[in-house]
Chain A
Amino acid sequence: MLSHITDNIDLWAEGLKNTVSLTLLGVIFGFFVALPIAAARLSKSNILSRIAYAYVYLVRGTPLLVQIFLLYYGLGQFHNELKSIGLWWFFRDAFNCGLTAFVLNSAAYQAEILRGGILAVPKGAIEAGSALGLTKLQIFRKIILPITLGRMLPAFGNEFVLLLKASALISIITVRDVMGQARFLYAQNFDLSVYYIAALNYLIIVLLIEALWRKLEGRNVWLHYAGGH
């Protein structure tokens, strides 16, 4: 089994690079896409909140595999139309398509985490903010966000791990991440241990994420608002 690692160290390194970058970029971009969605969900406007709800429902109700296929092969069907509006160069690339699927997917889940966290902030704190004359944006940045961020940290950590696991699906659309390298090497030698090596890779990354998250949560103990409803 060791030879499978040492003989192909460059392949495994490339695989790790793809897996980690996909996951990181997916989570980070997903967060920024989640912000407006959460805002829409919480907005007073009926239309906005319904559209956001529909989006979240759609994304959470369908398998990620189908979403990836839709974005890669489905949009590929319209390559001429996409070319004419100048977007084909982006969707042409498998990594981009996969990343887009992950971002859109993670955004839906992260929006729900944000929404839950924001709804859990006691009204008293927000009212105190307005009483002090803060604008809505200031209230959000200085009162809501610090309180909820600490609370939502575990949920975001969970989402990080979930996205890491989901990233393996990109191997089906030709990207050579950790899973993709395992498939490639298995085709050459039919030795199952290449899949065990892949499993080890994922396990180590998850343990690292969990260790990192414990540090983050420990640091932010003062942010844990103990107030209740």
Chain B
Amino acid sequence: MELLSLLAYGDTGWGDELLRGLGVTLALAFTTAPFALLLSFLIAWGKASKNPVTRVFSNGYTTIFRSLPELLTLIIIYYQLQLVINYAIHLVLPDANISINAFAAGVLALTLVFSALGSEVVRSAHQAVGKGQAEAAAALGLTRRQSFFKIVLPQMWRHCVPAFGNLWLILLKDTALVSIIAISDLVRYANMAIATTKEPFFFYSVLAVIFIVLAFLSSLVQSHIERRTSANLQGGR
């Protein structure tokens, strides 16, 4: 089919551009994930804090980033952060100009949104494990740190993994939004191709296929991880 020739590699087709876009999409998702994961735990910890200010901040943070459309969050962070940084820098070094690259802004925005979503996952996983575990650990003489990292956290994973897997899939899809603030990801390259070839149905269908493949691969990895984290709960040593 002549349509497929549009995907050729090199100057005649858009295959290499789409591949480049795919690389950016994956880079965005893979860069965001670890930061969002870490921040999720921090925010969840903040929600359980004894300090009311920390609690209010953590809950407010979660409410805001869970309630706003991701597109809006992306745009606000992309423009506002730059202004804030410029202003702060100018107070100290009036001649300097620090520029936040679009990729970094995209990662930051996505991290903030997904850490808000992730903190809820962590919180409910922690509740699922229950106070009993932490109390037993304390009774056995373990410090709070040891009790968390050696007893509670390993049990939390079983509850976290499916939900985090879900968030990963959502993250993969949300990276498509950066195309609107001009990061050249998969969707933006597809738009470029469509502007020249006038074949929107074909290229958007190709995009759909690519995302399905990514989702499928992700679910394979997730099943593998789930099996491994649940395995040590079955049977004895």
A192 & B177 in contact (Cβ 8 Å cutoff): no
Nearest residue (CB) in A for B180 is: A172
> Which one of B63, B70, B176, B208 contacts A58 once the chains associate, using CB atoms below 8 Å?
B208
Which single member of A73, A179, A192, A203 contacts B67 (CB below 8 Å)? A203
Option from A74, A168, A169, A203 in Cβ contact (under 8 Å) with B200: A74
Q: Do B212 and A202 touch across chains, with their CB atoms under 8 A apart?
A: no
Q: Which residues of A contact B214 (CB under 8 A)?
A: 61
Number of interface residues of B (CB under 8 A): 36
Cβ contact of B68, chosen from A63, A66, A69, A202, cutoff 8 A: A202
In the complex, chain A residues 109-126 whose Cβ is within 8 Å of any chain B Cβ: none
B61-75 to A contact mask, C-beta < 8 Å, 1/0: 001101111111001
A75, CB-defined interface residue at 8 Å: yes
Binds A, one of B35-43, B76-84, B131-139, B148-156: B76-84
A62 vs B70: C-alpha distance in the bound complex, in angstroms?
16
Inter-chain CA distance A95–B63, complex, in Å, is 29
The number of A-B residue pairs with CB atoms under 8 Å apart is: 101
B176 in contact with A63 (CB, 8 Å): yes
Q: Would you call A87 an interface residue if the criterion is a C-beta within 8 Å of the partner chain's C-beta atoms?
A: no
Q: Name the segment of A25-33, A145-153, A193-201, A220-228 touching the other chain.
A: A193-201
The answer to whether B69 touches A202, judged by C-beta atoms less than 8 angstroms apart, is: yes
Give A60 to B211 CA distance when docked, in angstroms. 10
> Which residue from B63, B83, B187 sits with its C-beta under 8 Å from A192?
B83
Q: What residue in chain A is nearest B198 (Cβ atoms)?
A: A77
User: Whose C-beta in chain B lies nearest to the C-beta of A66?
Assistant: B207
- The closest CB in chain A to the CB of B83 belongs to A192
Contact for B205 among A64, A70, A164, A203, CB less than 8 A: A70
- Partner among B169, B173, B194 whose Cβ is within 8 Å of the Cβ of A64: B173
Contact (Cβ within 8 A) B208 A70: yes
Contact for A65 among B67, B177, B194, CB less than 8 A:
B177
A114 → chain B closest CB, angstroms: 18
In the assembled complex, the Cα of A67 lies from the Cα of B179 at a distance in Å of: 15
Known: A70-B208, A75-B201, A76-B200. A179 touches B72 (CB 8 A): yes
* Nearest residue, chain B, Cβ from A161: B67
8 A-B pairs with CB atoms under 8 Å apart are A61-B215, A62-B208, A75-B201, A78-B201, A165-B70, A179-B72, A182-B72, A202-B72
Which 3 residue pairs across A and B have the least CB separation, nearest first?
A: A168-B69, A61-B215, A74-B201
By a beta-carbon cutoff of 8 Å, the part of chain B in contact with chain A is 63-64, 66-72, 75-76, 79-80, 83, 169, 173-174, 176-177, 179-180, 187, 194, 198-201, 204-205, 207-208, 211-212, 214-216
